[in-house]
Amino acid sequence: MSRLVIVGASGHGKVVADIAALNAYTNIIFADDNKDIRICAGYTVVADSRHAPEGDLFVAIGNARFRKDLMRLYRNRALPVLIHPTAVIARNVEIGEGSVVMAGAVINPGVRIGKGCIINTSSSIDHDCVIKDYVHISVGANLSGTVTVGEGAWIGAGATISNNVDICPNVTIGAGAVVIKDIGESGTYIGVPAKKMFKYNTSR
């Protein structure tokens, strides 16, 4: 198989490299802006994020905005979908370019996943969910049926989204939060049930 360049020599990049190797990539290298990083997961770091060498390319950066910018920069490159062999994915699931599905994830029938998404370890997405571009479904998060998650949203570790819920773009759902109704305003939501977190002026 052709070379894979992974942009982002981080913990996330290490996991992506392992999945890439399990997907039969044998020539894996990294690109990262930190000049002090020379090796990541046993692979060489050869360039910065905006001057990646030739080959298939995967953007392994957790920040959705940076991931989007770099995927646009490299839009003319092959941006593969990487799936861990232990993930369980229904036959009619759609997954966009540059997305990764990690170990133990379960994705049920009728799900549509956009480009540049992270479906993290042991997360589950039930039937007919729509996951828009650049979404991160964190470790152990659970989405019930017919959930829509807007572009750039982050669903925190162990969070639960009840069925038939719509989440607007650029929302962060805190770890362990339980979302039981639609979220129509961007921001950070925490707790059980999840509520928007506000910053209060305590200087008075």
Active site residue 127: yes
Task: Pick the closest to residue 158 from 171, 176, 145 (CA basis).
Answer: 176
State the catalytic residue, choosing from 12, 84, 127, 136: 127
Question: What band does 2 get if pLDDT is binned at 50, 70 and 90?
Answer: confident
Q: How far is CA 156 from the centre of its chain?
A: 11
Tell me which amino acid residue 97 is: E
Predicted pLDDT at 204: 44
**Could you give the strand order of the β-sheet that contains 166-167, starting from the edge strand earlier in sequence?**
94-95, 112-113, 130-131, 148-149, 166-167
This prediction has a pTM of 0.95
Task: Pick the closest to residue 153 from 121, 109, 113 (CA basis).
Answer: 113
- What are the tens digits of pLDDT across the range 5-17? 999 999 999 999 9
What are the residues facing 166 on neighbouring strands?
Answer: 148
Check if the beta carbon of residue 16 is closer than 8 Å to that of residue 101.
Answer: no
- What are the tens digits of pLDDT across the range 171-200? 999 999 999 999 999 999 999 999 999 865
Distance CA 92, CA 68 (A): 25
For the residues 76-104, what does the mean pLDDT come to?
98
Check if the beta carbon of residue 37 is closer than 8 Å to that of residue 9.
Answer: yes
- What are the tens digits of pLDDT across the range 32-75? 999 999 999 999 999 999 999 999 999 999 999 999 999 999 99
Give the strand pairing for 154-155 and 171-173: parallel
Task: Pick the closest to residue 160 from 129, 125, 134, 195 (CA basis).
Answer: 125
